[in-house]
Amino acid sequence: MGTVISSKQPVGICGIGRIGKLLVWLLSAKKAQSEIVIATGRKTGKSIEDLATYFAYDSTYGAYSRFIAGFDHDRAVEIKNDSLYLNGVKLVWLNDPKHRTPGGIPWSEHGVEVVFDTTGKMLDPTVNDANSLRGHLNHAKKVVLTAPFKVKNKGVSMPDDTVTVVGGVNFSKYDASKHAIISNASCTTNCCAPPIKALVDHFGDRFVSYSLTTVHAATNSQSVLDVLPKDGDKDTRKRRSSFNTMIPTSTGAANAVVEVIPEIRSLGIGSQASSLRVPTTTGSIVILDVSLIGEYDNAYIHDIFKKYAEKNPDILRYSDEQLVSADIVGSTYSSIYDSEFTHHRTSKRGDRYYTMVDLNFWYDNEFGYVCSLWRLYGLLTGLR
Ligand SMILES: NC(=O)c1ccc[n+]([C@@H]2O[C@H](COP(=O)([O-])OP(=O)(O)OC[C@H]3O[C@@H](n4cnc5c(N)ncnc54)[C@H](OP(=O)(O)O)[C@@H]3O)[C@@H](O)[C@H]2O)c1
């Protein structure tokens, strides 16, 4: 297993859905590499022009050339000698059916060292076959999963070469000589773990418990209109129309936050998480209710996040504007603290004060998350 990753080498991306496509947008805008290697394992549309159109426009973010400010608009997406270029960065396309299996993708032949698996289909790092996340390591040095790990066989322990890291929380856990399969956790975890970490560090054992709800934009894991659930579907509400319904769903955020902030367990802080999908294309909010021992007002709480944002300026933005979800589309932050929306209430039991605080953190679950992948890529390559 190699440990030194070059930021100049082409990046590999498996799966070009919402996260994969926006990652291509971001990487091509940064221009750190001259090539991006993309594995779809299937043909796309009728011609390379269809691919060019897919990358040139986006129903949520608009035109690539307009989104990435300062571009020469005519030349942002080009076809030259049957190859596609975004901002001058060449996209190498692996669309043969044999490239559908991670172990069969010849990443190293294209100079790829780091692969982002954005398929959402291979989440279990304990599985060791060609058609798994680990399969990418047949021909690459590192694989980044753009989701939390999901281990099917609960009796199997996590391999030593895996780690879950979140920017602004536990990047120091990453050991280049040891870790080859790295989960960037979920967008929700990237939003709520930084402020929870700030609270844990500040309050310690005065932090009694928290409950979070993410009000989350729709994703492609849902249905456009009602469909018949598949055999064995657990979350059948995801088969209901995402157009016109609020849909309660499960979220792994409670476990993932504890994994990246182990003090939550050691301090015995209670935690809970739930999720509600709403009909927006992107733009989500975490409503975080915390219970603290002691008496605190809003100004005291604001100060914690002001200081955290000063220390982690690319992760958390402190806002005193009256935001709505449309305002955060295209945000590069993992989390935006909506200070205007903070409420607190203090009660007294015996001679002890307790304060409940209601906090709100916005996130662009798509582009904001892709920016967190860029920060993780910086961790792997030393590129900042
Ligand atoms: N959307 C969000 O807000 C968000 C935020 C953070 C993290 N995530 C996570 O990121 C992952 C992707 O999410 P997404 O929203 O981008 O999903 P998506 O839009 O459904 O994209 C997934 C893509 O992967 C492709 N794919 C599936 N299996 C493949 C394979 N074996 N080889 C190559 N391509 C394959 C699919 O294409 P085909 O049509 O060819 O199957 C599809 O284009 C999920 O794990 C999700 O939980 C999503």
For residue range 253-277, what is the model confidence (pLDDT) as tens digits? 889 999 999 999 999 999 999 999 9
Nearest ligand 1 atom to the CA of 42 is: 40
Q: Is 181 in the pocket of ligand 1 (CB under 6 A)?
A: no
Has residue 335 got a pLDDT over 90?
yes
Q: What is the pLDDT of residues 97-125, one digit of tens each?
A: 999 999 999 999 999 999 999 999 999 99
Determine contact, residues 187/286, Cβ cutoff 8 Å.
no
Residues 6+ apart with CB under 8 A from 237: 247, 248, 249
Average pLDDT over residues 221-245: 94
Phi and psi at residue 107, in whole multiples of 5°? -55, -50
Q: What is the pLDDT of residues 287-315, one digit of tens each?
A: 999 999 999 999 999 999 999 999 999 99
- Residue nearest atom 27 in ligand 1 by C-alpha distance: 119
Has residue 187 got a pLDDT over 60?
yes
Has residue 198 got a pLDDT over 70?
yes
Q: Which of 13, 14, 16, 18 should be mutated for ligand 1, with most atoms under 8 A from CB?
A: 18
Q: What is the pLDDT of residue 360?
A: 98
Tokens of residue 164, six digits:
């879950």
- What whole-number percentage of the chain has pLDDT above 70? 97
Tokens of residue 301, six digits:
């709480």
- Smallest CA-to-CA distance from 56 within 24, 96, 82 is with 24
Has residue 66 got a pLDDT over 80?
yes
Please give the biggest Cα pair distance in the chain.
Answer: 78
Average pLDDT, the chain: 95
Nearest ligand 1 atom to the CA of 19 is: 16
Q: What is the pLDDT of residue 368?
A: 98
- Residue nearest atom 14 in ligand 1 by C-alpha distance: 18
Average pLDDT over residues 336-351: 97
Confidence grade of residue 72 (pLDDT, cut at 50, 70, 90) = low
- 0.95 cut: is pTM over it? yes
Q: Is 188 in the pocket of ligand 1 (CB under 6 A)?
A: no
Confidence grade of residue 3 (pLDDT, cut at 50, 70, 90) = low
Q: What is the pLDDT of residue 46?
A: 93
Tokens of residue 108, six digits:
């190293």
CA angle 150, 154, 158 (to 5 degrees): 65
Q: Which residue bears the tokens 């979220």?
A: 251
Phi and psi at residue 152, in whole multiples of 5°? -75, -50
Catalytic residue among 187, 191, 192, 371: 187
Q: Is 118 in the pocket of ligand 1 (CB under 6 A)?
A: yes
Has residue 1 got a pLDDT over 50?
no
Has residue 74 got a pLDDT over 70?
no
Has residue 384 got a pLDDT over 60?
no
Phi and psi at residue 96, in whole multiples of 5°? -70, 145
Average pLDDT over residues 121-144: 97
Topology of the domain comprising 11-159: Rossmann fold (3.40.50)
Q: Is 40 in the pocket of ligand 1 (CB under 6 A)?
A: yes
Residue type, 88: G
Determine contact, residues 119/15, Cβ cutoff 8 Å.
yes
Q: Is CATH 3.40.50.410 the classification given to domain 188-368?
A: no
What value does the CA radius of gyration of the chain take, rounded to a whole number of Å?
A: 21
- Residue nearest atom 28 in ligand 1 by C-alpha distance: 119
DSSP states along 54-71: HHHEETTTEEHHHHSTT-
* Domain spans of the chain, in order of start: 11-159, 188-368
Residue 187 bears catalytic tag: yes
Determine contact, residues 45/79, Cβ cutoff 8 Å.
no
CA distance 355 to 353: 7
Q: What is the pLDDT of residue 220?
A: 96
Distance in Å, CA 14 to ligand 1 centroid: 9
Q: Is 186 in the pocket of ligand 1 (CB under 6 A)?
A: yes
Confidence grade of residue 71 (pLDDT, cut at 50, 70, 90) = low
Determine contact, residues 376/315, Cβ cutoff 8 Å.
no
Has residue 178 got a pLDDT over 90?
yes
Nearest ligand 1 atom to the CA of 18 is: 16
Q: What is the number of helices (H) and of strands (E) in the chain?
A: 8, 19
Confidence grade of residue 69 (pLDDT, cut at 50, 70, 90) = low
Has residue 52 got a pLDDT over 50?
yes
Q: Is 259 in the pocket of ligand 1 (CB under 6 A)?
A: no
- Residue nearest atom 35 in ligand 1 by C-alpha distance: 15
Q: Is 331 in the pocket of ligand 1 (CB under 6 A)?
A: no
- What whole-number percentage of the chain has pLDDT above 90? 90
